[in-house]
Chain A
Amino acid sequence: MIWKVIQNPTLGCNSFLIGDEISGQGVVVDPLAQVGVEAYILSAHDLGMQIIEVLETHVHADHVSCALDLTKELSVPYRISRHAPAVFAFTPLADDTRLHYGALAIDVWETPGHTKDSVSLILYDLARGLDPWAVLTGDSLFVGDVGRPDLVDAGETAVRLAALDQYHSIQRLMTLPDWTELWPAHYGSSPCGGIFMNRRPQSTIGYERRFNPFVHMSDPDIFVEETLRYLKPPPEEAESIRTANLTA
């Protein structure tokens, strides 16, 4: 598997170049405007990878995406959840679909909560095995924490419903095998997470199953109350950044 994580340590963002070595085909996931289109193009070339599509786990509210610019420059599809309220054209990602790039397979699971358009991407190297190897959870499941439910609509009813969605999404992610590597879109002090978010950019499903406090909350009501109780103040520019990412 071709694999490179490109990070922005200031904002605690993970972005990814993932591909299949045999066919040289691959994708960019959650590219960051602060890193820039050029860095993704040159890095993919260094890795011997042709960018076939650009995927996003959700419409981001903490950083500006360069996914649309990248897709325009390379004339490749931009893919985001069918629920994303974007005003530009994109190729929708739907629940329970499998994408193929050579021997790299990516299963799309809708994992709403942080946003309605949140998806998790489950990665398989079919040249090595049929089991999942890693999951990109976007802002659904973090290392030690879960994505906050209040950045799209901060009204209490909306936040409670979103938190309940997040509960079910987390439960679904927990059906993955223990060894599955967990790669969220954020780590450290990212404003998209809560006070328990770890500084490590990665974990495993098994480790989170054992030690993530939100995964241990088997009662949805408790999960919702605890999520609300620990909410940090929202980042100042969340709304304008989200709007920018929706309108390009």
Chain B
Amino acid sequence: MMTLTVEHLKAILESNQFPVIDIRLIRAFAEEHIAGSQSLPFRQEGWAALVRQAITEPSVVLFTDNPRLGTAAKEAWEQAGGTVVAVWDQGLGPWKQLGAATVQVKPVTVDELAHRLEAFSVIDVREPYEWRSGIIPGAKTIPLGTLSERLAELPKDRQHVVVCAHGNRSLTGAAFLAERGYTTFSVLGGMALWLGAGHPIDRWSID
């Protein structure tokens, strides 16, 4: 493995040879990430197995903003038999200075959303059993795992707000859409805060 300059990183990415795995928290990834990179936040347990499921190539580039995380993830992937082509642990700063492409998801609070509900297309990525607590009026229910199959239903000229139970899965869903050219927001705190604030819901009958 070589010590990396940001120009090197760009060259590696442009070669399209190796997947870039962003190991930061999903929150940081959704806020802004390198276009084309994939979010697999590092964990001390079971992370390499998740990478193996998500990625077929054994050689990867790791992206983070913390050298300790970079080292730990590199060791974990190598222990699992993989190869780490490069670790970038200096975050997005130098990458953006280079003028390279990033993708962003903006946060939206439940109050902001309630105030301008008509302005947004709301996508609820929860599982069907979670709809019992009610859904935001007019929201489209698309469980996170089926989002990729239902892109045709989502017009590109609208602002999409993704919501889940607590605001974690919605980050994944929103980042997935943002990566594909959609303007996306993620609801902070999800339905827990929407319901907690007493905003209106449509009751959903499971039968």
Contact of B168 among A37, A45, A46, A48 (CB under 8 A): A48
Do B166 and A45 touch across chains, with their CB atoms under 8 A apart? no
Do A22 and B25 touch across chains, with their CB atoms under 8 A apart? no
B72 part of interface (Cβ distance < 8 Å) = yes
Chain B residues, CB < 8 A from A45: 25, 41-43, 66, 69
Chain A residues, CB < 8 A from B193: 22, 127
**Roughly how many angstroms separate A46 CA and B45 CA in the complex, as a whole number?**
9
Do A21 and B166 touch across chains, with their CB atoms under 8 A apart? yes
Do A50 and B69 touch across chains, with their CB atoms under 8 A apart? no
Do A22 and B66 touch across chains, with their CB atoms under 8 A apart? no
Q: Of all chain B residues, which has the CB nearest A44?
A: B25
Do B66 and A41 touch across chains, with their CB atoms under 8 A apart? yes
Q: 4 additional contacts, CB 8 Å, given A22-B188, A42-B44, A50-B27?
A: A21-B166, A22-B189, A38-B68, A48-B26
Do A42 and B69 touch across chains, with their CB atoms under 8 A apart? yes
Q: Count how many chain B residues have C-beta atoms less than 8 Å from C-beta atoms of the other chain.
A: 21
Chain B 124-135 near chain A by CB (<8 Å), digits 1 or 0 = 000000000000
A24 part of interface (Cβ distance < 8 Å) = yes
Q: Of all chain A residues, which has the CB nearest B67?
A: A73
Q: Of all chain A residues, which has the CB nearest B190?
A: A22
Do B68 and A42 touch across chains, with their CB atoms under 8 A apart? yes
Binding site for A on B (CB under 8 A): 25-28, 41-45, 66, 68-69, 72, 166-168, 188-189, 192-193, 196
Give the size category of A's interface with B: 10 to 19
Do B25 and A48 touch across chains, with their CB atoms under 8 A apart? yes
Do A24 and B25 touch across chains, with their CB atoms under 8 A apart? yes
A48-78 at interface with B (beta carbon < 8 Å): 48, 50, 73
State the Cβ distance, B154 to closest chain A Cβ, in Å.
26
Do B166 and A22 touch across chains, with their CB atoms under 8 A apart? yes
Q: Of all chain A residues, which has the CB nearest B25?
A: A48
Chain B residues, CB < 8 A from A50: 25, 27-28
State the Cβ distance, B199 to closest chain A Cβ, in Å.
16
State the Cβ distance, B55 to closest chain A Cβ, in Å.
20
State the Cβ distance, B196 to closest chain A Cβ, in Å.
7
The interface centre, meaning the residue of A45, A48, A127 with most chain B CB atoms within 10 A of its CB, is A45
Q: List 11 A-B contacts (CB under 8 A).
A: A22-B192, A41-B66, A42-B68, A45-B42, A45-B43, A45-B69, A46-B45, A50-B25, A50-B28, A127-B189, A127-B196
Q: Of all chain B residues, which has the CB nearest A40?
A: B68
**Roughly how many angstroms separate A22 CA and B170 CA in the complex, as a whole number?**
12
Q: Of all chain A residues, which has the CB nearest B27?
A: A24
Q: Of all chain B residues, which has the CB nearest A25?
A: B27
Chain B residues, CB < 8 A from A24: 25, 27
State the Cβ distance, B109 to closest chain A Cβ, in Å.
10
**Roughly how many angstroms separate A245 CA and B87 CA in the complex, as a whole number?**
34
Do A41 and B69 touch across chains, with their CB atoms under 8 A apart? yes
Chain A residues, CB < 8 A from B166: 21-22
**Roughly how many angstroms separate A143 CA and B183 CA in the complex, as a whole number?**
53
**Roughly how many angstroms separate A177 CA and B28 CA in the complex, as a whole number?**
37
State the Cβ distance, B155 to closest chain A Cβ, in Å.
30
Do B68 and A37 touch across chains, with their CB atoms under 8 A apart? yes
Do A46 and B44 touch across chains, with their CB atoms under 8 A apart? yes
Q: Of all chain A residues, which has the CB nearest B26?
A: A48
Chain A residues, CB < 8 A from B45: 46
Chain B residues, CB < 8 A from A38: 68, 72
A2-24 at interface with B (beta carbon < 8 Å): 21-24
Chain B residues, CB < 8 A from A43: 44
Do A22 and B167 touch across chains, with their CB atoms under 8 A apart? yes
Chain A residues, CB < 8 A from B26: 48
Do A48 and B66 touch across chains, with their CB atoms under 8 A apart? no
**Roughly how many angstroms separate A127 CA and B193 CA in the complex, as a whole number?**
8
Q: Of all chain A residues, which has the CB nearest B69?
A: A45
**Roughly how many angstroms separate A22 CA and B188 CA in the complex, as a whole number?**
7
Chain A residues, CB < 8 A from B72: 38, 42
Q: Of all chain A residues, which has the CB nearest B24?
A: A45
**Roughly how many angstroms separate A23 CA and B190 CA in the complex, as a whole number?**
11
**Roughly how many angstroms separate A27 CA and B66 CA in the complex, as a whole number?**
17
Chain B residues, CB < 8 A from A73: 68
Chain A residues, CB < 8 A from B41: 45, 48
Chain B residues, CB < 8 A from A48: 25-27, 41, 168
